[in-house]
Structure 1
Amino acid sequence: MAAVTATPAAAQDVRSTQVLGEGWVFAKGAEAPATGSSDWVRVSVPHSWNRVGHYTNPGVHPNRPETLDDYQGVGWYRLSFSGPRDLDRKRVYLQFDAASRTAEVWLNGKRLGSHAGGFSRFRLDATAALKPGAANTLLVKVDNTAPDVGTATADVLPLAGDFFVHGGLYRPVSLIVTDDVHLDLLDHGGSGVYATTRSIAGGRATIDVTWRARNDAARPVRVEAIVRLIDAAGAVKAEQRRSMTLAGAAGGEASATLDVADPHLWNGVADPYLHRLSVELVASGGRVLDRVEQSFGIREVRIDPERGLLLNRKPLRLHGVGYHQDREGKGWAVSEADIAGDVAIMREMGVNSIRLTHYQHGQPIHDLADRYGLLVWDEIPLVSRWTMGASTTASDGLRADAAQQMRELIRQNMNHPSVVTWGIANEVDFGKSIPIFITNKDGPAPDPMPLLAELNGIAKAEDPTRPTAIATCCEGRLLGDAEVPITAGAADVSGANRYFGWYYGDPSGLGPHLDALRAARPNQPLSVTEYGAGGATSIHTDNVLGGDVDQRGRNQPEEYESYIHETAWATLSGKPYLWATWLWNSFDFATTRRREGDAIDINTKGLVTYDRAIRKDAWYFYKANWSDAPTVHINGRRYVDRAYPFADVRVYSNAPETELIVGGKSLGTMKDCPQRICVWSKVALADGGNSVVARGRFAGGVTEDRIEWRLSPEAARTIRIDSGALVAGAKSFGSDDFFDGGEAGDVNASTGYGKPPPPKVVTGTDAALVAQTYREGDFAYRVPLPRGRYTVTLAFAEPSLESGKRRFDVTANGRRVITGLDVAKEAGGPLKAITRRFMVSVGNEGLDLRFVGRTGKAIVSAVEIAR
């Protein structure tokens, strides 16, 4: 039997809480095992049985293939505990901070109730079933079955989404004891106390407070409600008293207005000042029956289409991250310390806002956001899909669940000053563009607008002080002829999830696209709610423009993630009409939709790895741009064994002056680097170890970063370029680099979401993967070689053309070395490799190889240069 300590909620023991954390047993299966069965295993709560997602790169990782568990179905929890004594005139409630995704609860064999929705807090009245001072048995059935037609979870959001829904009692469970007369604990999991700042003007603040109380005794009772606002020093800044008469076995609602003189405002990260809001119910004899006390920040927020977000009437541009709650090795069963650690990583990077995606998060992160002044976008899990099977409308059950989760989100979080918007949906505007998200492949696509209108109305009725928000994916995106619903207008403010340069288009397309969205709705505030790219910490490239990234496959080098963030932030930071931007994502997270980069079932768009062990290069880019902390970071520290004897050295530095030192030799100083990116191009590396040091000079002293790169004797002697490859196809080759012009190609082009066709194979070479990619057009390779004589070997493979369709010349330092080459003719057909070799003398100017088309475009698959 678990030993549980009762902890008073305040100085007076008016409400006690028993945390039910230890002594649980757990089992999977449709039916609960018999008591004493060996099928039960001991666990502590918070708990999740799921372990999803693992890295394939070398190293010690919490998740490994043999420890994974992606079971989605029914799980059972049982706990024996000693009930509290002396419950005369008391009520007892079981509180579940979350249970995924549905829960049914029995105490001592009596069914207390159920809850649908895996993210919100809920409570059940356990008074009649509890045995005071004796042994009690609690049984909980949870079910995280993936929703489908006919399943028990078919009407429980989310129905879809690019994240894994873990199962279990993954947030704390507790037992709460109150007086018969108490603030309502059954109000959608809320506190029963709801406060908003009505106005701040003339050196005063007006705060409206509403509370819901309940009398569970048989007789009516008259109580006095005392409402106080208390400052950080303990002084009462405002107080109101209201009398209430509560009928027997009934509830009531009352309100008061607090007038606060000379208020100390909650002002975001600049000054996150918190008061305490206290509501007490006091009996006629002066006995305190119940008390709820919460942190409260006095602030005024408005989001304007021209001036952006105004915090206390001053513009504040929000920049931050999206955040999923899972962690490698724990799933969703994370501790408060884990969450605090995540927030510390975000704050060090310099965020002033968090988008809590794609579901309701728990109280710990909301409390931390309040404490540190981080503004929050909250949302419910209406993600991508809202219908089942062939239906084009949401079922009544799903509409009810969405409405319930909307009310729970608001009532549980509306007192947090950090929360500025209520998100009603994410990416429900796919239409027929990507059928994987819509099961109704035939006929019209479901229309999300009726459900969105319903949710928007609920949110406005619950809390008219905050704007509603929606995140969209597809309006104006590069989707060919696909028609998508325009959903941005369903909420007060909109956010665009856009991945130019990743899933579609070029990074340069982001700016014009946002301008078009702005022009379409100039009176609606616009933000960017997602942007980014995957980044595998064990996969690297020598040039981010060398080839095509594979959004659904392996070729996702860490450097390309940095490139997307650099180019996106250059655009976003120059758009004053954006009231906020949130990158995707703060941390890698679990999803069973992906096999990409160096991971399986992990979305690698995080700036920090799933286990929080590695902060990727892009994390330091934002720290240099968003934080005032002295930051100097050399990119490519995990690309240790270099392919070429020359490398671009990129340093993220917010220092006024930054010096680069390679092999003990200074390569000069750069001042006030644009976007905090300092670049030394084609730095020569020596055979063996190369120490690389970046030294930033700040007013307070010097900050430096140092790494070690290695160059093998073979790489020092011979340059092997895998043309058209973002990631080299063979270990002895480097990815495409040193080029000027042309376009990258691949005989096996990426198919995006579709099933790839059988791969094409280039024959006639031992390096088939190298020959698979190519560069074509009119282009050059300019390699900064030292003086000397070199042997150049070029490899060619015709992707698909017939003989005579492509003929081209190659020159080396102005001398024609290949004339009128027809690769298909010389090889005897497409996908057959041939090589050409020649000698060249190189002077001070280095090597300049030019490829010029006569008929069609020039092409090359690989370039090898040997001393």
Structure 2
Amino acid sequence: MVYKNARNALIGVSLIGLAISTVAASRENAPTVPSISDDQSQEAPQRQRIELSDGWQFNLVGPYGEDGELDSPQADEWQTVAVPHSWNRVGYYLSDPETHINTPENIDKTQGVGYYYTSFDAPQLDGGQRLYLEFDAVSRTAEVWLNGQYLGANRNPFGRFRLDATGLVAPGQANQLYVKVDNTQPAEGNSTADVLPMTGDFFVRGGIYRPVSLVVTEPVHFDMLDHGGPGVYAATTSLEGGNAEISLSGRITNSGASDAPVTIVASLLDDQGEVVGSWRDQAVIAPGTTSELEGSMHVSSPRLWAGLADPYLHTLRYELHAADGTVVDTIDQAFGIREMELDPERGFLLNGTPYRLVGAGFHQDTEASDWAVSREEVNESLRIMLDMGANSLRLSHYQHGSPVHELADRYGIVLWSEIGLVTAWTNARDQVEAPQGIVENARQQLLDLVHQNYNHASVAVWGIANEVDFGPGRPDFLGRPPEVVADPMPLLNELADLSRELDPHRAVVLANCCEDRGMVDVPVVAEAVDAVGANRYYGWYYGEPGQLGEHLDGLRLKHPDIPVSVSEYGAGAAPNMHTDNPLGGPIDMAGRTQPEEFLTWFHEENWRELADREYLWGIWLWNAFDFGTTVRSEGDAQDINTKGLVTYDRDIRKDAFYFYRAIWSDQPTVHVQGRRYVDRAYPVTDVRVNSNAPSTTLVVNGSELATLSDCDQNVCVWSDVALAGGENAIVARGNFAAGPVEDAIVWQLDEEQRDAFRIDSGAVVAASAQVQFGSDDFFVGGTAGSTDQRGGRGRQAVFAEIAGTDRRDIVSSFRQGDFSYRIPAANGRYHVTLTFVEPDQPVGARLFDVAANGDSVLSSYDIHQRAGGALIAITESFDIEVEGNMIDLAFSPVSGEALVSAVEVTPLR
């Protein structure tokens, strides 16, 4: 389909995809694909590739001269490393350090200059052959010396670059290679001032963190210096009447001294090796020049690349023939014929059919390897996302390496691929427009991104920016906001125009943060692109999840011709931190209190807003995995963004992972939530199970409870399930047509907790005490509050001094307003103790009544008067006879708001 203007109702996007290899890795219930060689490149016999991986020397401290004259390495000053390599290691979990690779002792957040050195034996170059140095990525900047001579540089931290080393290499001899790498944080006037990203909620590591190779070609070859791309390109321009039209081009370089008559031949092969389409052209390439030949081929009744259902890949073989018929260069690429479209009403269409994109944002780091990830680690990450049911990934917030693109092609994963323009595009507080250096760096990153990934079937859109619309409301943790906010539109318009020029077959997109969120001076950046993604955190940073849908509908009405997606939504969670009720008290969006159950609730409620809005062309939650950053101290982690559905080490799939697996995946899924909350606080609890079975049965301690079907959002809930003292076996059985699928966990209930309810009122995570309390639960109405001032984002928490108690942390929080507690206690006699702490009201300002099962126990109660002052704990106790398996404690205001700081109900045995 021919590309249509962004303001038309339909944006046509079609391209042939490249995928060359995968590593088949076993993962529970993950989709399987044919295993192929780990070798990512199918090099032509006319080319020779030599990987430079082992035996590198690295030095982070110097000193070295600025003129490129580098001393020979001394063994005691250098460490031996293998490439890929990064000198940075970022982010660690606070608990269970023995189970993790990263610890406070091995973390390295150094930013600055490092040097790499290696010696390699160069092959002989015969008949005018050329030798290129290929770096898949060096961050942030690279300067390269070969045999003491300056060879070249690169200032894109994320893209492949090649340098023609023919003139400096010593064939058949040992060669000395130095690489100066600089990941200094950009600032006005420094060495990386113009290298994007300027800021962001992730850390830009330093190092040669992707592979390095020598590549030898014949003197006439497909262009090696085309922005790191393959030099050959293809795009499906039409799928009509069951036939495909494919445009083709090849850039041919003649490094020889005389004219080179050549014939270019492109052959399309099916998986049986049969030719199903071809193109041939001839040209004479002048010496020392590069020429581009263009053509097309017709394919009858092609088998299409159809996402996860059928990621079928042909082989596209480009051959370059000399005048005598000799093949002087060959490039084989696996690719898929497909058509992608974005429609404001119908969403994303794959080969003319609506295809809902669902998935997650994805950063490239892992705890094991940081940025220097292997192909196997990338494969593991993708397999985990496939297991969750994702059919798409947003590659955030920079160009990712070849493995993820190649594997996505082969698995059928649709990609959003973007450059590193994040939040800021100036580096001085008074700049009113982007400096030319930053503009050029953004252009370079886009040129590299498109050329290197143009042929990938999986890539649907090119992203040119993320959250550049903060305006003066930019969060402090991303750096002090500028005095004058530059207008991003000139830069965005320039990048959008460049993207359309480079690739008229894919939509240009960006992700915004702030339009129509009530912020001041927010630029409407959606007008710069063909389709937009909305990063929205209703229920985490602001608002409630229920506001998300109406907000998206408003954006759609405001921009009826611009397809809308949700490019980020998420919340933080520590898998070892738990709550009995995710709404029991405040979470810390910038601090430590981030229970796993809140993440689950957040995603359930956000998905409720997203599920039926079919106009959304994609939905990407944030994030696939916890990832390293240096601006966060939250949950159970330091320098880790905890919004991942899977932990940094890929070891724990949080409960929210299985929420999506149960609604996105066709794989039989049964998962009992709360499996890591083993030591339970209450003898009665709800049991929640993610299940996509037609019906699901719960078995507790061998007794079968009710069987549920048609569960809301595939979340089955059994309310007020009684637990026994000691060990409790919880089994959920999904009753599938092919047979039952079960998930079993074990909870413990301490004898002290049997038949007792100790409630830390107003706390979403119960504080520690000599006897176990649960978080605030069983309440109806009211709001949570605290005597303490919360910290986070660099602010220290201030803890109130509370007299009259040895449970300060328990009673520092409270529930207030007009509320009640409905506690599902078994019939019998109980002792009830209520603890009160007046936070700030004088005598007479707060008066309330307390009733137990309708009987008054406290009348016009005044905490301040009874305790003798504010911030002094006071308790009141009474006994109650329970009939009907319920205690109803009603707190009714007389003047001001009712309040309670802790509720304890213990059986009288």
Q: TM-score range by the shorter chain?
A: over 0.9
Residues 1:24 and 2:56 are matched in the alignment: yes
Asked if 1:414 corresponds to 2:454, the answer is yes
Closer/same/farther in 2, CA of residues 331 and 38 from structure 1, 3 Å limit: same
User: What secondary structure is seen at the aligned counterpart in 1 of 2:864?
Assistant: helix
- Distance of aligned partners of 1:768 and 1:367 in 2 relative to their CA distance in 1, 3 Å threshold: same
User: 2:632 aligns to what?
Assistant: 594
Q: Which deviations, in whole Å up to 9, do the C-alpha atoms of 1:232-273 show, x marking residues without a partner?
A: 111111111111111111111111111111111111111111
Map 1:467-506 → 2, pairs under 5 A: 467-477=507-517, 479=519, 482-506=520-544
Pick one of 309, 318, 325 that aligns with 1:270.
309
- TM-score with structure 2 length normalisation? 0.93
Any idea what SS the aligned residue of 1:407 has? helix
2:405 is aligned with 1:403: no
State yes or no: 1:665 paired with 2:697: no
Which has the higher mean CA deviation after the structures are superposed, 632-641 or 780-789? 780-789
- Choose the corresponding residue for 2:468, options 419, 428, 444: 428
**1:443 to partner: Cα distance:** 4.1
Q: 1:780 to 1:147 in 2, by over 3 A?
A: same
1:457 matched to 2:497: yes
SS of residue matched to 1:706: strand
Instruction: Give the deviation of 1:149 after TM superposition.
Output: 2.0
Q: Assess, with a 3 A threshold, how the Cα gap between structure 1 residues 635 and 8 changes in structure 2: closer, same or farther.
A: closer
Q: Distance in 1 between matches of 2:803 and 2:537?
A: 36
Aligned to 2:179: 140
Match of 1:124 among 158, 163, 175: 163
Match of 1:184 among 219, 223, 239: 223
Partners of 1:104 and 1:717 lie apart in 2 by 69
The structural deviation recorded for 1:534 is: 0.7
The separation in 1 between residues aligned to 2:544 and 2:792, in whole angstroms, is 15
- CA drift of 1:484 comes to 1.6
CA distance in 1, matches of 2:844, 2:821: 25
Counterpart of 2:694? 656
For residues 512-564 of structure 1, the C-alpha deviation after alignment (integer angstroms, 9 at most, x for no partner) is: 11111111111110000001111101100000110111101111000100111
Q: 3-state SS of the aligned residue for 1:67?
A: coil
| 3-state SS in 1 of match to 2:576 | coil
Residue 646 of structure 2 is aligned to residue 608 of structure 1: yes
In structure 1, what is the Cα distance between the partners aligned to 2:576 and 2:765? 11
Cα offset for 1:750? 4.4
Using the TM superposition, give the Cα deviation of residue 839 of structure 1 relative to its aligned residue in structure 2, in angstroms.
Answer: 1.3
Aligned to 2:12: none
Contact 1:160 1:437 (8 Å CA) reproduced? no
Cα distance in 1, alignment partners of residues 366 and 176 from structure 2: 31
Equivalent residue in structure 2 for 1:830, among 848, 853, 870: 870
Alignment of 1:513-528 (within 5 A): 513-528=551-566
Aligned residue in 2 for 1:165: 204
Distance 1:327 1:793, change over 3 A: same
- Aligned match for 1:728, one of 743, 754, 766: 766
Alignment partner for residue 256 of structure 2, among 217, 228, 239? 217
The alignment status of 1:802 with 2:842, answered yes or no, reads yes
Q: Determine if contact 1:45/1:169 at 8 Å carries over to the other structure.
A: yes
Does the 8 Å contact 1:562/1:618 carry over to 2? Answer: yes
Shift of the 238–181 alpha-carbon distance from structure 1 to 2, 3 Å rule, reads same
Which amino acid in the other structure matches residue 52 of structure 2? L
Query: In structure 1, what is the equivalent of residue 721 of structure 2?
Result: 683
Instruction: Provide the rounded CA distance (Å) in 1 between the counterparts of 2:477 and 2:141.
Output: 23
Distance in 2, matches of 1:529 and 1:8, equals 30
Indicate the larger mover: 8-17 or 728-737: 8-17
CA–CA distance in 1 between the matches of 2:302 and 2:479? 54
Pair 749,581 (structure 1): closer, same or farther in 2 beyond 3 Å: farther
- Which protein, 1 or 2, shows the higher relative CO under an 8 Å CA cutoff with sep ≥ 6? 2
State the Cα distance separating 1:800 from its structure 2 match: 1.8
Tell me which amino acid in the other structure corresponds to 2:832.
Answer: V
Q: How many Å apart are 1:478 and its aligned residue? A: 5.4
Q: Tell me the equivalent position of 1:334.
A: 373
- 2:480 & 2:91 partners in 1: Cα distance? 29
2:384 to 342, 345, 349: 345
Q: Report the Cα offset of residue 442 of structure 1.
A: 6.3
RMSD: 1.6
- Secondary structure (helix, strand or coil) at the match of 1:365 reads helix
* Pair 100,337 (structure 1): closer, same or farther in 2 beyond 3 Å: same
Amino acid at match of 1:159: M
- How far apart, CA to CA, are the structure 2 residues paired with 1:72 and 1:753? 22
- Alpha-carbon deviation of 1:332? 0.5
Per-residue deviation, 1:440: 6.7
Partner of 1:635: 673
SS of the counterpart of 1:302? strand
Q: Is the 8 A contact 2:159 2:445 kept in 1?
A: yes
State the one-letter code of the partner of 1:35. P
1:88 to 111, 124, 127: 127
Aligned-residue offset at 1:328 = 0.3
What is the CA–CA distance in structure 1 between the aligned matches of 2:801 and 2:591, rounded to whole Å?
18
1:273 aligned partner, one-letter code: Y
How far apart are 1:31 and its partner, in Å? 3.2
What's the offset of the Cα at 1:392?
A: 2.4
For 1:241, the equivalent position in structure 2 comes to 280
Residue 820 of structure 1, CA deviation: 0.6
Q: Distance in 1 between matches of 2:634 and 2:352?
A: 45
1:107–1:130: 8 Å Cα contact kept in structure 2? Answer: yes
CA distance in 1, matches of 2:707, 2:292: 67
* TM-superposed deviation, 1:772: 1.6
Q: Distance in 1 between matches of 2:564 and 2:791?
A: 32
Going from structure 1 to structure 2, the CA distance change for 1:366 and 1:129 (only over 3 Å counts) comes to same
Which of 13, 21, 42 matches 2:45?
Answer: 13
Conservation of the 8 A alpha-carbon contact between 1:321 and 1:355: yes
Secondary structure at the counterpart of residue 269 of structure 1? helix
Q: Can you list the C-alpha shifts for 1:632-655, whole angstroms capped at 9, x where unaligned?
A: 000100000011111111100011
Aligned residue number for residue 448 of structure 1: 488
Cα deviation, residue 843, structure 1: 1.4
Tell me which moved more, 252-261 or 469-478.
469-478
Answer whether contact 2:591 2:792 (CA < 8 A) is retained: no
Q: 1:770 aligns with which of 790, 793, 810?
A: 810
Q: 1:807 to 1:582 in 2, by over 3 A?
A: same
Structure 2 residue ranges without an equivalent (≥5) = 1-38, 65-70
SS in 2 for 1:690: strand
- TM-superposed deviation, 1:799: 2.1
Aligned twin of 1:295:
334
Note the C-alpha offset of 1:754: 7.0
Question: 1:483-537, CA deviations, whole angstroms, 9 ceiling, x for partnerless residues?
Answer: 3222122111000011111111111111111111111111110000001111101
Match of 1:3 in 2: none
* Greater shift in the superposed pair: 218-227 or 839-848: 839-848
What is the rounded CA distance, in whole Å, between the counterparts of 1:624 and 1:435 in structure 2? Answer: 35
Q: 1:384, 1:437 within 8 Å by CA — same for their partners in 2?
A: no
The AA in structure 2 aligned to 1:661 is V
Q: 1:554 & 1:435 partners in 2: Cα distance?
A: 19
Q: Does 1:846 align with 2:886?
A: yes
**Contact kept in structure 2, 1:432 and 1:438, CA below 8 Å:** no
> CA shift at 1:9, angstroms?
6.3
Superposition deviation, residue 571 in structure 1: 1.1
Q: Percent identity at matched positions?
A: 52
Cα deviation 1:13-46 (Å, max 9, x = unaligned): 2111111111111110253564224121111111
Structure 1-normalised TM-score? 0.97
Q: 1:478 and 1:741 mapped to 2: Cα distance?
A: 28
What amino acid does structure 2 have at the position aligned with 1:786? A
1:231 alignment counterpart: 270
Letter in 2 for 1:170: Y
The separation in 1 between residues aligned to 2:40 and 2:557, in whole angstroms, is 56
**Secondary structure of residue in 1 paired with 2:471:** coil
- Following superposition, the deviation at residue 116 of structure 1 comes to 0.4
Asked if the contact 1:9/1:16 (under 8 Å) is kept, the reply is no
Which of 546, 549, 552 is the matching residue for 1:508?
A: 546
